[in-house]
Copies of this chain bind each other. A is one copy, B any other.
Amino acid sequence: MSTAVPTSPKAGKGAGAEVGIALLGYGTVGQAVYRLLTENTEDFTHRIGGPVAVRGVAVSDASKPREGVDPSLLTEDAHALIARDDVDVVVEVIGGIDYPRELVLAALNNGKSVVTANKALVAAHSAELAEAADAAGVDLYFEAAVAAAIPVVGPLRRSLAGDKVKSVMGIVNGTTNFILDAMDSTGASYDDMLAEATRLGYAEADPTADVEGHDAASKAAILASLAFHTRVSYDDVYCEGISSITAEDIEAARTAGYVIKLLAVCERFTDDAGVEKVSARVHPTLVPRDHPLASVSKSFNAVFVEAEAAGRLMFYGNGAGGNPTASAVLGDLVGAARNKVHGGRAPGESTYANLPIAEFGDVRTRYHVDLHVEDRVGVLSEIASKFALNQISLSAVRQEEFNEGARLVVVTHEASENDLAATVDAVKQLPAVKSVNSVIRLEGE
């Protein structure tokens, strides 16, 4: 288990020394990074303590014309670029996992510090990358991997380094927030608002990674690892997307005073046996309308942190886009380059707490269960008894006429996923229950 301790503090190159940059990738983010870096050279020189020079830009096809970049800098041989003696910091903004992993490892093993915006890579391979950075005594920065321009990694690593984080809840995917917010404000269906998001460029042609929560799950893994000083990887995150959320769910949420958000929820808790554990999960979540996360609209992101001494903090802003992502990448680049000039290292991976990751069935939250039932005497009592049998107490019950029967909405107090699942199974068996319309978790009260 590695710790926050750098293994080999490095001497700097000395004030005024030039720092060589290799830029891997020239998509939207790469272009913004290159443009801002070359437009503001004097600012960067002052902030770093020496000039920066881009040694090369690795792309898949160097013959293709690229706007804004000196063509002589383009190369298809990323490995050769990384290996150059005059490259100190490698910026990876390619995306994907396998190829960038290979390049980032090559860079770290070569003694170059790395700045990456790649959440999928960091969430899948953090241990391997952190160990390579530690072995070489260099920095691995990834502020842009979570919520783009919003400083979250830095505050968790540094500002809260003297505190104990209890939970992190975030809206960390702009596409899904845009869709859910549009459904909430228009009453339209998921499919229509996904189409709108695609039309406006908020959703990709294949929106799976966003709408099924995979992108948010990568970010949840990164947030939980930082917050709890414990390695949490993508595979440890329970993940449920928003594609099954209906206009009726949104309407029911509104009636009950909630809004539905796709949240990444990371928690530290003590289980029944007194063992401290952590969990990370991503799922559609009911949030009270007066909670700060409820008013995060459109494609904005926000991360809500609760720490023992600090109390509740929220960080809000643009969670995607070329310029906002470049802002975070360039902040990291200044940090990495500064350390190359002046010596010292950024805080590395910190996994000393090494808390066990809870089984998802042991995670506790509250639930909003929406049922279609027969409209006759005794139904409520039959259903309520199933909740009681599993020791789940109810905080609210609402019944209304619906579709030749009744709609029954039950809001529970805190219960475990296992107990809730057993209850829903039992309720489904009841002859009086026509269907379970939805089960949505509830946070923030």
Residues of A within 8 A of B (CB): 3-7, 9, 11-12, 15, 32, 36-37, 40, 43-44, 46-49, 143, 149-151, 154-155, 158-164, 229, 292, 295, 307-318, 321, 323-324, 326-335, 338-339, 342-345, 347, 350, 352-353
Contact = CB atoms under 8 A, between A and B. Distances in A.
A337 to B, nearest CB: 10
Nearest to A300: B312
B313 A149 contact: yes
30 contacts: A4-B48, A9-B343, A9-B344, A36-B163, A36-B309, A43-B229, A46-B350, A47-B352, A149-B310, A151-B151, A151-B158, A155-B155, A158-B331, A159-B328, A160-B327, A161-B334, A162-B330, A163-B330, A295-B295, A307-B327, A309-B323, A310-B317, A310-B324, A313-B317, A314-B317, A315-B315, A315-B316, A316-B316, A344-B344, A344-B345
CB-based closest 10 A-B pairs: A344-B344, A162-B330, A151-B159, A149-B310, A313-B317, A309-B327, A161-B334, A310-B327, A46-B352, A5-B49
B159 A143 contact: yes
Given A46-B4, A312-B317, A344-B343, A155 B151 contact: yes
A318 B317 CA distance: 19
Q: Interface centre among A4, A143, A163, A295, by most B CB within 10 Å?
A: A163
Given A154-B155, A161-B331, A162-B330, 8 more contacts: A47-B161, A149-B309, A151-B159, A154-B154, A309-B324, A310-B324, A312-B318, A314-B315
**Chain A contact residues, majority secondary structure:** mixed
Contacts of A352: 46-47
Nearest to A341: B5
Contacts of A12: 9
Given A44-B162, A159-B154, A162-B329, A309 B32 contact: yes
A151 B9 contact: no
A6 B339 CA distance: 11
B158 A335 contact: yes
